[in-house]
Structure 1
Amino acid sequence: MSALPTRRDTRLDAARAIAIVLVVLGHARGIPGAFALLVFSFNVPLFFLVSGWVTTAHGQARSDAQALARLARGLLLPYLGFFLLAYLYWLLTRHIGEKALRWGDLPWWDPLLGALRANGPGLYVQPALWFLPALFVTVLAFRPLVRRLPPSLLAAVAAAVAWAWIAWFPPLGLRLPWGLDVLPVALFFFACGATVGRLPARARAFLEWRGMAFLLAAAWLPLAWLNSRVDVNMLRFGQWPPLFLLVALLGAGMVLGVAGRIGHWPAVQWIGRNTLLILGTHFPVFFVLSGVRSLAGVQSPPGLGWALGVSVLALLAAVPLRWILVRWAPWMLGVAPSSREPAVGMPEAGRR
């Protein structure tokens, strides 16, 4: 990779912050279906797009061996650590309440097989972790391709491949390990981010225009609603799969426009710099709170109040959890043991 480090763009951290907050809300039980429909129309693609942008605009030149080592440290070690924590909790609680009905008869080693497959259906003890191996595979695929094609051309080729892939592969009912079945889609958004990241600052000025987010939202909202529910992890791309790529780009652009306005807020920056931590901990927090709710004998189904409450608690829990992990297991945050500061945001190849 030939990109040189540049001044940090707070817009990218703010975009990650918005995206991870929406992920947490979207995963909370009781959240309205319409909210999840709209959020997941662009949320996962936004993460891939921002990762491609950061890799290109803020990366360093590294050999393939160096890049692989950094990716393994920044993505695979956190994947392993957060999975093992969730797996331990699953072992201790799988015969209690709802879990007894869903997973009580499964052998103790079944989640371990899911961790080896590293895709959505197998990661039921920690569903959000699928993104880390998917990003790992995406970056590995991007590096050799971008040496042969400029990011803009790579994005165009990847768009054609992604359209064909989402029309052909999901109906087969097959799943590939390590996010390989998500790769064609992820590579498109990653290459789009890399394309934007290589543009001169003046060429990206359109994101600063105050009306851009509203303009993009006006186009995104009806199209996202028309396409219906999307779940990239489960290879569901809505009622009109070819429309998915356009909707996701519109939604990502909308968030980037908003992010430029709130990027200087301290809380937003903190969340944006700790997206890996929040990704890896919000589901365990949800599981614990749901277990407490069940033991308390609450029979009513979770509603919006519950969804908002547990989401806030999951975000707040990241503060003490960060303190604990930085001191006792920094490798779970993608940090070398000799460092006391966690990786900034979601680890990506080329991270400073």
Structure 2
Amino acid sequence: MTTSAVPAQSRAAETVGGRATGAPAVPRDAFFDNAKLLATVLVVLGHTWGPLVDNDPGMRGLRTCYLLVYSFHMPLFIMISGWFSRSFAENASDPGRLRRLLTSTVVPYVLFATAYQIYDKYRHDEPISVDLTVPFYLTWFLAALFVWRLSAPLWRTLRAPVLVATLVMLGAGFASFSGELDLGRVFQLLPFFVLGLTVRREHVQWVRNSRALRWAATPVFAAAFAAWYHYGPRVESAWLYRQSGHQQLGVGMAHWVVAALGLALGALILSLGFLALVPRRTNWFTSLGAGTQYTYLLHGFAVQMALAYDYEHSRFINSPTGLIALSAIAVLATGVLASPPVRRVLGWAVEPTMRWAFRSDRRPHRAA
């Protein structure tokens, strides 16, 4: 993959899921489509494994895999999202940017937060109610993405944006946030979004092409697995959800700061190793990378429905054979939910264009 492919993919962010949003069509970058799809596989596996990890002390291997995945999968996913949000930092007052901000985050958030909350109330036989100020389950990411993209112009103007975002993350450790917009996660995961937003293209190209990084990735993941296997039973998994301050985790502020910085550094190292292993060329699954937002927003319904049938207590599911089968189903579901037929049927909810709601103005913008 040549260097020129990188800016091409940045411009390709003007398309969502392969559907034009008004910008000129350009070739997609296979590396980023592969990275998005494989990162989404980790997200689905994490949500699938989550209800099982504390069922049986003998399932130490599963808990280790879960902790390893959670130690970096959302930072990785968010860095990629930051890379694809670069256009929101340019010409922020452009009506097209504002429309995409609404249709890519706000409208899907309203639709899916409402749907998830209604289903949850129905599943628990509770009165139906919806509170959009408190993100339910995986919809927190859309709320966070809206806040991050709204702030994108600021981060592109600062001299040391990642440092400032890291200080914001550390400052969040003093606070005890309630559920509104899941602000704990918004602030604690902010540095990864800012890094993806502001990283130089030549650095991305180095990660893609570095043989040394590729060779180092496997030993790094093996060491991380061994570390989580050893220390995992003594680690509170809430640390990896990155939504709690030092008081909520029951530790001193100095302890929280050191742990948060260590976890952030570990997440960055593992993310770089993961990206170094991502195939750079077009594969049979590359085209599915255009539909990862469908998988992200839809797979939660499958997990919630499985919980309604107590799958986490199934003797078969909690056996080695059952875990392998369940993981295989999760990987298969990742691809199915990102497939073109699903995108055609549910594009109105996941990627609404809403042309009916916006005025068409093709007149050139005048300089102020």
SS of equivalent to 1:274 = helix
Q: Does 1:326 align with 2:335?
A: no
C-alpha separation between the residues in 2 aligned to 1:159 and 1:22?
25
Amino acid at match of 1:129: T
Q: How many residues align?
A: 302
Partners of 1:220 and 1:251 within 8 A in 2: yes
C-alpha separation between the residues in 2 aligned to 1:220 and 1:53?
24
Partners of 1:138 and 1:186 within 8 A in 2: no
SS of equivalent to 2:201 = coil
Q: Does 1:38 align with 2:41?
A: no
Alignment of 1:4-15 (within 5 A): 5=11, 8-15=28-35
Identity %: 23
Deviations 1:37-92 (A, max 9, x none): 00111111112211222233898644265433311100121222223333443344
SS of equivalent to 1:181 = helix
Q: Does 1:74 align with 2:101?
A: no
Alignment of 1:151-170 (within 5 A): 153-166=160-173, 168-169=174-175
TM-score scaled by structure 1?
Answer: 0.72
Higher Cα Rg: structure 1 or 2?
2
C-alpha separation between the residues in 2 aligned to 1:57 and 1:68?
11
In the alignment, what sits opposite 2:315? 300
In the alignment, what sits opposite 1:186? 189
Partners of 1:75 and 1:334 within 8 A in 2: no
Amino acid at match of 1:134: A
In the alignment, what sits opposite 1:136? 146
**Structure 1 unpaired stretches of 5+:** 96-105, 340-352
Partners of 2:217 and 2:274 within 8 A in 1: no
Q: Does 1:83 align with 2:106?
A: no
SS of equivalent to 1:264 = coil
Q: 1:157 to 1:91 in 2, by over 3 A?
A: closer
SS of equivalent to 2:353 = coil
C-alpha separation between the residues in 2 aligned to 1:319 and 1:5?
21
In the alignment, what sits opposite 2:285? 267
Partners of 1:277 and 1:333 within 8 A in 2: yes
Q: Does 1:276 align with 2:286?
A: no
Partners of 2:104 and 2:351 within 8 A in 1: yes
Q: Does 1:232 align with 2:232?
A: no
Q: How far apart are 1:217 and its partner, in Å?
A: 5.0
Q: Which moved more, 1:301-310 or 1:272-281?
A: 301-310
Q: How far apart are 1:301 and its partner, in Å?
A: 6.9
Partners of 2:172 and 2:187 within 8 A in 1: yes
**Structure 2 unpaired stretches of 5+:** 1-7, 13-26, 54-61, 250-255, 357-368
Q: 1:211 to 1:157 in 2, by over 3 A?
A: same
Partners of 2:183 and 2:243 within 8 A in 1: no
Partners of 1:137 and 1:180 within 8 A in 2: no
TM-score scaled by structure 2?
Answer: 0.70
Give RMSD over aligned pairs. Answer: 3.5
C-alpha separation between the residues in 1 aligned to 2:328 and 2:201?
41
C-alpha separation between the residues in 2 aligned to 1:55 and 1:179?
20
In the alignment, what sits opposite 1:200? 202
Q: Which runs of 4+ in 1 moved over 6 A?
A: 57-60, 236-239
SS of equivalent to 1:326 = helix
Amino acid at match of 2:196: G
SS of equivalent to 1:253 = helix
Amino acid at match of 1:17: L
Partners of 1:217 and 1:250 within 8 A in 2: no
C-alpha separation between the residues in 2 aligned to 1:36 and 1:338?
42
